[in-house]
Structure 1
Amino acid sequence: MLAKQQTASSALGQFSSNARWEDYPDSVRHTAKRSLLNGVATALGSARDPVVETLARTLRCFAGADQAALIGRGERMDAPSTAFVNAVAINLLDFDDTHLPTVIHPTAPVMPTALALGEWRNLSGRQVLEAFVAGAEIECRIGLAVSPGHYARGAHITSTCGVFGAAAAAAKLLGLRADQVADALGIAASLSSGLVENLPTAAKNAGVGNAARNGILAAVLAEAGQAAAPTAIEGPLGWARAGGNELNMAALTGDLGVRWEFARNTFKPYPCGIVMHAVIDACLDLRATYDLRANDIAAVTVSGDALLLARGDRAVANARDARVSIHHCAGVALLFGAAGVREFSDAVVFDPDVVALRAKVKAERDNTMPVGAAKVTVALTNGQTVSATVVNARGSLERPLSDAEIEAKLRGLARDGSPHCDADRVIEAVWTLDEKAGLSRLTAALAG
């Protein structure tokens, strides 16, 4: 039992300080490697994207010593800048992992921080994984303690809670005491930011990068002796209430180290908003079952809960809009029988056939549908109507991607975004990261 006088920061600081790789359950260790594999995959896929190119070039203007490597680019920058760029690269394609209870993408803010610090401080892959797990668990716990109100008020939860996970991971790799980890978390509370309003723009990704970089800053400041208010997270004028939330301490600390939120992490089969996946699954099912073609379709109705409509009932002006559009996701799945990176590219978003089919799609709220589910009804030109309902989308906890599917995802993304990297070498390096010389093998593989 946690002592009553413990604050959120002290409880989490103690948990992180005491966490050991060998004590994690097998399921948690496996989740860590799957998450790393998926994160590396998405970073390789966007390594040469114009957004990543611009970030690397811009940060280079004032970056410090070359301390760590950019994934898939063969360049080196200071650790905070490296963590920033790699976090953006992981998050950019909307293809990263998701902790569904909070809709946090755990790996993007935390893993780049752990990799950059591990390389900078010449630490082991085992230590990197150990810190990654501790940070990701803290990130998810804090997110759970302020959900669902935090996101609903406009806070981009991957960024705002990701900074705590990044700070905890960095503090652990720096070897800080539990009280110093608590200070790092308190400092991180003042460095937390990110807006849902920015989701259709690169500003969203910048918030995720900032979470990774600010996590390192918070830990380094704590290492140097800077302190934070003990109740910086849950205090009457603290982080949670500044965002309009009452912190749920039971969700934050209940069975901490026994029940693992991070073990509930999931992995996307499609590079788009997680609530769109059931829409895509239903459309793919209908297309395959009834051999549908564009000229067969008169109208499409997508039914779902309030969250689906709030996130996805939008006009499409660019590729970013398409990734969170009910209309586009349904259109490409029905038209092409696919919803991969290509189907969310500018070339496809503005394809006249896609635009025409997208215009036939309408969204309707159905309060009987659970979160994450969707029903798609297609009115055919011959007067018939067909429909499909998906409650648990592919990639969810109920229908998880296999290790082999995540490996295949990495191969495809590396082929398109980082063809100079040997995908099989990267995959092997991820699975063996906790072995001797594991981090140096992974770093070399990612540099190509």
Structure 2
Amino acid sequence: MADVLATAFAAFAASAHERVFPAEARRRAVDAITDCVGCQLAGSAEPAAEIMLKTMASASEPSAALPSALVGRNAYAGIAEAALYGGTAAHALDYDDTNHPAYAHPSAVIVPAALAVAPLSQASGRDLVSAYIVGLDMFGKLGRAFNTAHYKRGWHATKSFGCLAAALAAGSILRLDTATMETALAIAASSAGGLRGNFGTMTKPLHAGQAAEAGVRAALLARAGFTAARGVLEHRFGYAAVFGTPGADIAHLARPGEPLEILSEYGLALKPYPACGATHPAIEAATQIHAEMAGREIAEIRVGASALSFDPLIYTDPKTALEAKFSMNFCVAAGLLYGEVLLSTFGSNALTDSRLRALLSRMTVVVDDRVADSPEFAAAVAVSFSDGSSVEKLVPLAKGKPSRWFSEAELEAKFDDCAKVMNDPTLSGKLYRKLRSLDGPVSLTEIAAATAFAAARSTAA
């Protein structure tokens, strides 16, 4: 017996390619997909991606057994493994976008899942945009129903919500009908999981890869006739019972697209910095102060943060790049010292920079009453200088949020930063332009292959 939630979202996804979504929704989806591919390119050079590639069967040319391109690599793999690799690479640097209701990362799951199944379909770039909108809708609405309790219990929703979103996106690309899509959701639900205790390690980005893989595998199994309890989302021993909380309001989940998550106030946020989103307002405040320092020596730093920010930011004295991405102290110190926080900021030089280490010893991070209840990690950074002067900056909302969306120039600048691993600005520019024209009849397989071609040039460089 199917449940209301599964039926509603399955029908929504099954008809995604026929739906007329608002132009602004489609524009934001193209931005998010472009941003995610950039993050995958950059993440492909990270140790997590390197190690994963060693465990996979892959080849330099596509074949029936290994048809799916690995973004950021001159390689092809099996469909499910390509999704696993793609999701892990997309989230490896924590530069990928977020959905605030879920406290998690949707595109790192949805985009790799959809790209991985491209060889099995005749889908277009426009179909990918529609599938993305549908996947994000379920991802965010699960967050609105289950959080903050789900997050506080230790679940990493990138995986626990992402496996369902990935199943919808992959199923939409494969043109599954409503009944088959319901089965795919039920199969994917049994792969939900992801523990926040693994934050700051390679296993955090692995959660994104596992969710993408689970969604793809669920869609493929359902298409082949595999069975599952289609009522498992609302079963007394099912998904909502395990991952939700008693009394959780899931009724609105039966109305997908009302409103569209991608157009909602907190539905999607691009990341201006390659670190945990809870650091972003504080980083922006720090870079603003850097611009006004005029050579003054810092004597003391006080960071006033929201209470919620202390949950993910668990490192005060990070020893690795992954730990530094979850350190308010490191990120603020970097913003003050360098005036910017880029991918290169988390290299070994910064981690051992004596100037940055000195700033860590002068910093206090506390809950600030002005921003304590902020759902957007608002932060204030106050700096006292040795000459007795001081300055404070308060940032209520980070760049990249819906009301502070990236400009075209900002999106391209971030993509270029990510695409430096390609060692070819001309080629990265070509790939960027191809992605910007995604919402049209261009073949999805062609898009996926273009990312592998880019990687081939990178590997040879």
Q: Same fold (TM over 0.5)?
A: yes
Alignment deviations for residues 225-269 of structure 1 (CA, whole Å, 9 cap, x no partner): 233334322332212221352442244234x22411123311111
Find the counterpart in structure 2 of residue 300 from structure 1: 301
- 2:304 equivalent to 1:311: no
Query: SS of the residue aligned with 1:299?
Result: strand
Find the counterpart in structure 2 of residue 285 from structure 1: 288
Alignment deviations for residues 261-319 of structure 1 (CA, whole Å, 9 cap, x no partner): 123311111000111011111111112124355xx111111111111123225231211
Residue identity in the other structure for 1:42: C
Aligned counterparts of 1:417 and 1:98: Cα–Cα separation in 2: 25
Find the counterpart in structure 1 of residue 275 from structure 2: 272
Find the counterpart in structure 2 of residue 222 from structure 1: 222
Query: SS of the residue aligned with 2:117?
Result: helix
Does the Cα contact within 8 Å between 2:67 and 2:77 map onto a contact in 1?
A: yes
Shift in Å at residue 205 of structure 1? 1.1
Find the counterpart in structure 1 of residue 43 from structure 2: 46
Q: 1:61 to 1:36 in 2, by over 3 A?
A: closer
Aligned counterparts of 1:393 and 1:276: Cα–Cα separation in 2: 9
Query: SS of the residue aligned with 2:311?
Result: helix
> Higher mean Cα deviation, 428-437 or 132-141?
428-437
Query: SS of the residue aligned with 2:116?
Result: helix
Alignment deviations for residues 166-197 of structure 1 (CA, whole Å, 9 cap, x no partner): 11112222222212211111111101121111
CA RMSD of aligned residues (A): 2.1
Aligned counterparts of 1:61 and 1:424: Cα–Cα separation in 2: 27
Q: 1:313 to 1:125 in 2, by over 3 A?
A: closer
Residue identity in the other structure for 1:276: T
Query: SS of the residue aligned with 1:424?
Result: helix
Residue identity in the other structure for 1:60: A
Residue identity in the other structure for 1:33: V
Alignment deviations for residues 349-373 of structure 1 (CA, whole Å, 9 cap, x no partner): 1222211111211111124412320
Query: What is the correspondence of 1:74-223 to structure 2 with a 5 Å cutoff?
Result: 74-223=74-223
Aligned counterparts of 1:420 and 1:75: Cα–Cα separation in 2: 21
1:396 to 397, 401, 413: 401
Query: SS of the residue aligned with 1:311?
Result: coil
Aligned counterparts of 2:332 and 2:157: Cα–Cα separation in 1: 26
Query: What is the correspondence of 1:320-335 to structure 2 with a 5 Å cutoff?
Result: 320-335=322-337
Residue identity in the other structure for 2:444: L
Does the Cα contact within 8 Å between 2:303 and 2:379 map onto a contact in 1?
A: yes
Shift in Å at residue 133 of structure 1? 2.0
Does the Cα contact within 8 Å between 2:3 and 2:231 map onto a contact in 1?
A: no
Aligned counterparts of 2:204 and 2:314: Cα–Cα separation in 1: 19
Shift in Å at residue 88 of structure 1? 0.9
Query: SS of the residue aligned with 2:397?
Result: coil
Aligned counterparts of 1:198 and 1:25: Cα–Cα separation in 2: 38
Residue identity in the other structure for 2:276: G
Find the counterpart in structure 1 of residue 14 from structure 2: 17
Q: 1:21 to 1:28 in 2, by over 3 A?
A: farther
- 2:13 equivalent to 1:33: no
1:410 to 411, 415, 419: 415
Query: SS of the residue aligned with 1:233?
Result: coil
Query: SS of the residue aligned with 1:422?
Result: helix
Aligned counterparts of 1:416 and 1:120: Cα–Cα separation in 2: 29
Find the counterpart in structure 2 of residue 424 from structure 1: 429
Residue identity in the other structure for 2:149: G
Residue identity in the other structure for 1:97: D
1:439 to 434, 438, 444: 444
How high is the TM-score relative to the length of structure 2? 0.90
Q: 1:420 to 1:21 in 2, by over 3 A?
A: farther
Aligned counterparts of 1:197 and 1:417: Cα–Cα separation in 2: 33
Residue identity in the other structure for 2:46: D
Unaligned ranges ≥5, structure 2? 455-461
Aligned counterparts of 1:292 and 1:189: Cα–Cα separation in 2: 55
Find the counterpart in structure 1 of residue 254 from structure 2: 253
Q: 1:396 to 1:173 in 2, by over 3 A?
A: closer
Alignment size in residue pairs = 441
Does the Cα contact within 8 Å between 2:69 and 2:449 map onto a contact in 1?
A: no
Query: SS of the residue aligned with 1:231?
Result: coil
How high is the TM-score relative to the length of structure 1? 0.93
Shift in Å at residue 209 of structure 1? 0.5
Does the Cα contact within 8 Å between 1:45 and 1:418 map onto a contact in 2?
A: no
Q: 1:50 to 1:417 in 2, by over 3 A?
A: farther
Query: SS of the residue aligned with 2:404?
Result: coil
Aligned counterparts of 1:324 and 1:105: Cα–Cα separation in 2: 15
Q: 1:50 to 1:21 in 2, by over 3 A?
A: farther
Query: SS of the residue aligned with 1:289?
Result: coil
Aligned counterparts of 1:395 and 1:419: Cα–Cα separation in 2: 27
Query: SS of the residue aligned with 2:392?
Result: strand
Unaligned ranges ≥5, structure 1? none
Shift in Å at residue 417 of structure 1? 5.1
Residue identity in the other structure for 1:136: L
Aligned counterparts of 2:445 and 2:314: Cα–Cα separation in 1: 45
Identity %: 29
